[in-house]
Structure 1
Amino acid sequence: MSIRGPQALASLEEAMRDIRREEDEISRRVSRSAERVTKIKESEAELFRQLAQLRLDPAVQSQLDGQISSAEMRAREMLKTHGRDVSKAEEAISDLDRKRAALVERRSAALALLEDRRASLQALTASLTAQLQVDPQFQAKRAEAEELDRIAEQSMRKTEQVEADREAKGKPYRDDPLFMYLWDAGYGTSAYKASNLTRYFDGLVASLVGYHRARPNYAMLNEIPLRLREHAEQQEANVQAAEAELAALEVGAVDRAGGKPLREAIAVTEGEIAKLDAEIVACEDQRDQAAAALRALAEGRDPAFESAAAELAAALGREDIKTLLAEARRTRTGQDDTIVAQIDDARTRLREEEAESRDQRERLKVLAARRRELEDIQWEFKKQRFDDPQSSFGEDRLVGDLLNDFLRGGISAASYWDQWRKSQNWAPGNEWGAGYQRTRQPRSNSPWGPSNGGGMSWPDSSFGGGGNSKPRGGGFGGGWGGGAGGGFSRPRTGSMGGGGKKGGGGFKTGGGF
C-alpha cells in the first residue's frame, strides 16, 4: 500500500512527538533523581548526628554537628532553587513545543491551500489544450524541441557507444605497465620532464614496447569520447532551452486566460511555507538549547547545586565521620546497630539511585541524538518536497517496521533516509496536452523528470512535481535537490546540546522506543 506525502510527513511528526515526550519524561526522572540523591545524603547526615550523640562527648559532637548542619542547610536551600530552575526550564520547553505545534499546523494549512491553487491552475491549463494544439507558434516550438530531442538522443547514444569502445579497446594499453608508465610521464610530449639518464632509459623502454606507434592511437581513443561528450552536452542544453521556451509559451497562454493571479498566489503561498519552515527550524534549535539546559539541571550540573552537593558529600566523607562509623561497627549495642544499618541502607539506596540515574542520562543522550537525526530527515523531506500531495511512497514499512528500526537504532539515519528516497514517486500531472513527448530518458539536470517523458516542470515551479518528474530549483523548504547518498543539509545553530550532530549508536531496548 502506498503512502501519500502529507501522510508520510505526519507519521514522522508523530514519531518526533513521541521522542520529545520520552525525552521530557526522562529529564524529569533524572532531575528528581538528583534531588533524591541529595535528600538521601541529608538523611544520612541526620543518622550520623544521632550516632555522634551516642558515641562522642558534647564538645566534639557539637563541632561535628555544626560542620554537617552547615553543609546540609546549604544543600537544602540549593534543592529549593534547583527545583524552581527545573520547573522554569520545563515550562520553557513546553512553550516552545506549543509554538512549534502551531507553526506545523499553519504549514499544513498552507500546504493544503497550495494544493488547491495548483489544482485550479492545472485545470485551467488543461482547458487550453485545444488552443495550444492549433497555435502555430507553439506547434513550431514543439516541433523544434522534438527535433532537438532526437538529435540529442542520437548524440548521447553515439557518445555512450564510443565511451564503451574506449573502455574495451583501451584495456590492452592500460594493462601494459611499461606503456602506462611512459603515458603517465607524458613521454613524447612537451609535458615530459626528466633527466638525461632517465630519458635514455625511457627511450629504451619506448622502443621495447613500441610506444611511439601506440601513443597516438591511445590518445585518439581517449580524445574522441571527450569531444563527443562535450557535443552531446551542448545538444542537451539546446533541448533544455527549447523546452523552457515551450513552457514559457504555455505560461503565456495561461496568463492570458486569467491564470496569472493563480500563479502569483502559488508563489506567495510557497514563500509563506518557506518562511514557516525557517521558523520551525529556529524553534527546534531553541528547543534543543532549552533541552540541553534542562539536561544540565536534571543531572545536577548547575555549578551552585554541584558545589552544595559536593560540600555535603565532603562533610559525610570526613575522616572523623569514617572513624565514628568504624567504631560503631566494632561495638555491638542495639542503638548503634540500628543506626549503622540505616546508614548502610541509605548508602545502598544511594548507589542504586546513582546507577539508575547514569542509565537514564545515557538514554537521554541517545534520545537527543535521535531527535536531531529525525529533524534532519524531516528537513530533507520538506526540502525535496516529498510532503507534496503529488508525492507518494510505495513502501508502507517506511512508517512501520523501518521507522521502528530507525528509532531503536537498528538502521542509521542515512540508511533510513535513503529508503525514503528510493521509494518516492511523483503522480502524473500537467502533461502537455499538445502532445510533446521526449523520446528518451532526460539527464538528471533536465527540467524534465527522471521518468516517463511528458510533464515538464514550469519555469517558476508553479506546478511543483509536474508529471512524474522531480522538480528542480525553486520551491519552499530550502529548494529542491540535495540529499543524495543520505547526506543532511539542515542548518544548525547553537550548541549541540550534548546529543552530537549525527548520533552513532542506537536506542537501548526497553521503554519508549
Structure 2
Amino acid sequence: MSIRGPEALASLDEAMRDIRREEEEISKRLARSAEKLGKIRENEAELFRQLAQLRLDPAVQGELDGAISSAETRAREQLKAHAKNLSKAEKDVAESDAALTRLTGERADALKVYEGHQAELKALGSRLGASIARDPAFAAKRQQASELADIAGQSMRKTEQAEQDREQKGKPYRDDALFMYLWEAGYGTASYRANNLIRYFDGMVASLVGFHKARPNFAMLNEIPLRLREHAERQIENARHAEAEVDALEMAAIDDAGGKPMREAMEAAQKQIDALDAEIVATEDRRDEAAKTLGMLSQGGDAAFEDALAGLATALGREDIQTLLAEARRTRTGQDDTIVAQIDDARARAKEEENETRELNDRLRTLAARRRELEDIQWEFKKQRFDDPRSSFRDDKLVGDVLNDFLRGGISAASYWDQWRRSQNWSAGTSDWGGGVGLPNNGRQRSNSPWPEGGGSTMNWPDASFGGGGSGKPRSKGGFGGGWGSGSGSGGGFSRPRTGSTGTRKHGGFKTGGGF
C-alpha cells in the first residue's frame, strides 16, 4: 500500500514524540535512581553510626560520628540543590515538547490550507488547459523548451558515458604505479621540475612503461568528460530558462482567469510553513540542549552533587570504619549481625542502582542519537518537498516495520533515508519540475502542472544535471545535502542546520509559480 506525503511526515512526527517521551521517562528514572542512591548512602552512614555506638568507646565514637555527620550534611544540602536544578531542567524539556507539539500541529494545519488552494488551482488549470495549449505562442514556446530538454538529456547521457569510460578504461593507467608516478610529476609537460639526475632516471622509466605513447590517451580520457559536462550544464541551463518562460506563460494565463488570489494564498501558506519549519528547528535545538542538561543532572552529573556523594563515600570507606565493620563480622552478637546485614543490604542495593544507572545511561545516549538522526531525516524530507500533498510513497512499511528497524538500530539513517527516496512518487500525469514542458525527474511524474496530461517531453533528466541552485525542485538521488558523508550518525552528511544556523530550507518550499 502507498502512503501520501503529509501522512508519512505525520508518522515520523509521531515516532519523534515516542522517542522524546521515552527520553523523558528514562531521565525521570535516572533522577529517582540518583536520589535513591543518595538516600542509601545516608542510611548506610546512619547504620555505621549505630554500629560505632555499640562497639567503640565514646571518644573514638565521637570522632567517627563527626566525620560521618559532616559528609552527610554536605550531601544532604547538595541533594536539595540538585533536586531544584533537576526540576528546572525537566520543566525546560517539557516546555520545549509542548512548543514542538503546538508547532507541528500548526504546520499540519498550514499544509492543509496549502493543499486546498492547490486543488483549486488544479481545477482551474484543468478548465483552461485545452485553450492555452491551442495558443500558437504557448505551443511554440513549449515545443522549444521540449527540444532543449531533449538536447540537455542527450548531452548529459554522453557525459555520463564518457565518465564511465574514464573510470573503466583509465583503471589500467591508474593501477600502474610507474605510469602514475610520471603522470603526477608532470613528466613530459611544462610543469615538470627535476634535476638532471632525476630526469635521466625518469626518462628510463618513461621508456620502460611506454609513457610517451600512453600519456595522450590518459589525458584525453580525463579531459573529454570535463568538456562534455561543461557543455551539458550549458544545455541544461538553456532548458531551465526555456522552462521558466513556459512557467511564466502558464502563470499569466492562470492569473488572467482569476487564479492569482489562489496562487497568492498558496504562497502565503508556504511562507507560514517555512517560518514554522525554522521555529521547529530552533525549538528542537533548544530542547536538545535542555535534554543534555537534564540527562547530566539525572545521572548525578552535577559537580557539587558528585563531590558531596564522593565525600560521603570516602567517609564511609575510612580505614577505621572498615576495621569496625570487619570486627563486627568476626563477632556473633544479635545487634551487630542485624546492623551488618543491613549495611550489606544497603551496599547491594547501591550496586544494583549503579548497574541500572549505567544501562539507562546507555539507552538515553542511544535515544538522543536516534532522535537527532530522525530530526535530520525529517529536515531532508521537508527540504525535498516529500511532504507535498502530491507526493506519495509506494511502501507504507517505511512508517511501519522499516521505521521500527531504524529506531532499533537495525539500519542506518542513510539507508533509511535512501529507502524513502527510492519509494517516492509524484502525482500521475505530470512531472515534479513544473512548467508546461513536463520535464520529468528521473521518470517521476510531474505533480504541479494544472494542464491536462499528455504533451511535453518524456526525457528522463539524469540526476547529475541538477545539483541544487535554489530551484526548490527535489532531486531523486544524491543523499543528504548533496553527499552521504562518512557515517550514519547524526550530522554525517546531513544538511539540517544545527544550533546557530538560520533554520530555513535551503532549496525553497512547494512550488507555487508556473505549473503549480
Range into which the TM-score falls when normalised by the shorter chain: 0.7 to 0.9
Per the TM alignment, residue 483 of structure 1 is displaced from its structure 2 partner at its CA by 5.7
Asked if the contact 1:380/1:483 (under 8 Å) is kept, the reply is no
The code of the aligned residue for 1:61 comes to Q
1-structure distance, mates of 2:448, 2:230: 25
2-structure distance, mates of 1:336, 1:171: 82
In the TM superposition, 1:350-429 aligns within 5 A as 350-428=350-428
The code of the aligned residue for 1:389 comes to P
The code of the aligned residue for 2:499 comes to T
Q: Which moved more, 1:38-47 or 1:186-195?
A: 186-195
Query: 5+ residue gaps in structure 2?
Result: 451-458, 501-516
Please state if 1:488 is matched with 2:480: no
1:342/1:263 Cα in 2 relative to 1: closer, same or farther (>3 Å)? same
1-structure distance, mates of 2:330, 2:210: 98
2-structure distance, mates of 1:153, 1:399: 35
In the TM superposition, 1:120-159 aligns within 5 A as 120-153=120-153, 155=155
Residue 75 of structure 1: aligned partner? 75
2-structure distance, mates of 1:166, 1:353: 62
2-structure distance, mates of 1:247, 1:8: 29
2-structure distance, mates of 1:333, 1:56: 15
Q: Which moved more, 1:467-476 or 1:132-141?
A: 467-476
The 3-state SS of whatever aligns with 2:392 is strand
1:45-78 superposed Cα distances (whole Å, 9 cap, x missing partner): 2211221221122232233223322332332333
The 3-state SS of whatever aligns with 1:428 is coil
1:52/1:117 Cα in 2 relative to 1: closer, same or farther (>3 Å)? same
The 3-state SS of whatever aligns with 1:392 is strand
1:250/1:430 Cα in 2 relative to 1: closer, same or farther (>3 Å)? farther
Residue 64 of structure 1: aligned partner? 64
1:489/1:150 Cα in 2 relative to 1: closer, same or farther (>3 Å)? closer
Give the alignment's TM-score, normalised by structure 1. Answer: 0.80
The 3-state SS of whatever aligns with 1:387 is coil
Per the TM alignment, residue 273 of structure 1 is displaced from its structure 2 partner at its CA by 0.8
1:316-339 superposed Cα distances (whole Å, 9 cap, x missing partner): 122221222122222222221221
Please state if 1:349 is matched with 2:355: no
Residue 253 of structure 2: aligned partner? 253
Asked if the contact 2:155/2:228 (under 8 Å) is kept, the reply is yes
Per the TM alignment, residue 310 of structure 1 is displaced from its structure 2 partner at its CA by 2.1
Please state if 1:21 is matched with 2:35: no
Per the TM alignment, residue 232 of structure 1 is displaced from its structure 2 partner at its CA by 3.8
2-structure distance, mates of 1:429, 1:147: 20
Residue 444 of structure 1: aligned partner? none
Residue 503 of structure 2: aligned partner? none
1:64/1:214 Cα in 2 relative to 1: closer, same or farther (>3 Å)? closer
1:378-435 superposed Cα distances (whole Å, 9 cap, x missing partner): 1111121211221111122211221111111111222212221221111236679xx9
1:20-55 superposed Cα distances (whole Å, 9 cap, x missing partner): 111111111111111111111221122112212211
In the TM superposition, 1:193-232 aligns within 5 A as 193-196=193-196, 227-232=227-232
Per the TM alignment, residue 272 of structure 1 is displaced from its structure 2 partner at its CA by 1.0
Residue 451 of structure 1: aligned partner? 443
Residue 33 of structure 1: aligned partner? 33
Q: Which moved more, 1:105-114 or 1:31-40?
A: 31-40
1:262/1:66 Cα in 2 relative to 1: closer, same or farther (>3 Å)? same
Number of matched pairs: 474
Per the TM alignment, residue 490 of structure 1 is displaced from its structure 2 partner at its CA by 1.5
1:122/1:318 Cα in 2 relative to 1: closer, same or farther (>3 Å)? same
The 3-state SS of whatever aligns with 1:416 is helix
Per the TM alignment, residue 103 of structure 1 is displaced from its structure 2 partner at its CA by 0.5
1-structure distance, mates of 2:63, 2:297: 33
1-structure distance, mates of 2:164, 2:154: 15
1:253-295 superposed Cα distances (whole Å, 9 cap, x missing partner): 1122222222222222111111111111111111111112212
Asked if the contact 2:246/2:436 (under 8 Å) is kept, the reply is no
Per the TM alignment, residue 169 of structure 1 is displaced from its structure 2 partner at its CA by 7.9
Asked if the contact 1:437/1:453 (under 8 Å) is kept, the reply is no
1:57/1:244 Cα in 2 relative to 1: closer, same or farther (>3 Å)? same
1:247/1:195 Cα in 2 relative to 1: closer, same or farther (>3 Å)? same
Asked if the contact 1:3/1:392 (under 8 Å) is kept, the reply is yes
1:292/1:166 Cα in 2 relative to 1: closer, same or farther (>3 Å)? closer
Please state if 1:289 is matched with 2:260: no
Residue 501 of structure 1: aligned partner? none
1:425-467 superposed Cα distances (whole Å, 9 cap, x missing partner): 11236679xx9657xxxxxxxx752225766779xxxxxxxx9
2-structure distance, mates of 1:211, 1:328: 89
Asked if the contact 2:143/2:437 (under 8 Å) is kept, the reply is no
Q: Which moved more, 1:229-238 or 1:468-477?
A: 468-477
Q: Which moved more, 1:39-48 or 1:62-71?
A: 62-71
The code of the aligned residue for 1:489 comes to S
Per the TM alignment, residue 244 of structure 1 is displaced from its structure 2 partner at its CA by 1.5
2-structure distance, mates of 1:170, 1:56: 88
Asked if the contact 2:153/2:460 (under 8 Å) is kept, the reply is no
1-structure distance, mates of 2:430, 2:74: 72
1-structure distance, mates of 2:379, 2:92: 24
The 3-state SS of whatever aligns with 1:284 is helix
The code of the aligned residue for 1:449 comes to N
Asked if the contact 1:425/1:468 (under 8 Å) is kept, the reply is no
1-structure distance, mates of 2:264, 2:193: 63
1-structure distance, mates of 2:165, 2:326: 89
Per the TM alignment, residue 84 of structure 1 is displaced from its structure 2 partner at its CA by 3.3
The code of the aligned residue for 1:450 comes to N
Per the TM alignment, residue 88 of structure 1 is displaced from its structure 2 partner at its CA by 2.8
Residue 234 of structure 2: aligned partner? 234
Query: 5+ residue gaps in structure 1?
Result: 439-446, 459-466, 495-513
Q: Which moved more, 1:76-85 or 1:117-126?
A: 76-85
2-structure distance, mates of 1:293, 1:30: 13
1-structure distance, mates of 2:397, 2:138: 45
Identity of aligned residues (%): 66
Per the TM alignment, residue 16 of structure 1 is displaced from its structure 2 partner at its CA by 1.3
The 3-state SS of whatever aligns with 1:128 is helix
1-structure distance, mates of 2:173, 2:78: 79
Please state if 1:111 is matched with 2:111: yes
Per the TM alignment, residue 106 of structure 1 is displaced from its structure 2 partner at its CA by 0.2
The 3-state SS of whatever aligns with 2:388 is coil
2-structure distance, mates of 1:210, 1:323: 85
1-structure distance, mates of 2:204, 2:66: 97
Per the TM alignment, residue 112 of structure 1 is displaced from its structure 2 partner at its CA by 0.8
1:354-400 superposed Cα distances (whole Å, 9 cap, x missing partner): 11122112221211111111111111111212112211111222112
The 3-state SS of whatever aligns with 1:449 is coil
The 3-state SS of whatever aligns with 1:482 is helix
The CA RMSD measured in Å over matched residues stands at: 3.6
Give the alignment's TM-score, normalised by structure 2. Answer: 0.80
The 3-state SS of whatever aligns with 2:497 is coil
